[in-house]
Amino acid sequence: MEEKLLDILEDICGDEIVKEDHDVNLVEEDLMDSLDYTELLIAIEENFGVVIAPSEVTREQMNTPNKIIGVIKSKM
């Protein structure tokens, strides 16, 4: 699951740093904006069957690859 998510993040962010540094802040590093965040939520649902409503979590709770993995695992 983690490897697939990192592939998705690399596609959305357009940078392989997400695979190298799982604690990189995607927002602060300008790797992800609000449209990318929406695309990520859709990709998570399509690939993992996990529905995360934008109102359920803040962007700060999902601003690094590790945090995103944690949220997905908590919903599985």
The one-letter amino acid at 41:
L
In 3D space, the residue among 61, 58, 53, 62 whose CA is nearest the CA of residue 9 turns out to be 62
How many structural domains comprise the chain? Answer: 1
Range(s) of the domain holding residue 13: 2-75
What is this structure's pTM?
0.91
Using one digit for the tens of pLDDT, what is the confidence trace for 28-41? 999 999 999 999 99
CATH code assigned at 20: 1.10.1200.10
Sequence-ordered alpha helix ranges (H) in 1-76? 2-13, 17-20, 34-48, 65-75
**The pLDDT of residue 54:** 87
Decide if 8 contacts 43 (C-beta within 8 A): yes
Give the Cα separation of 49 and 46 in Å (integer): 6
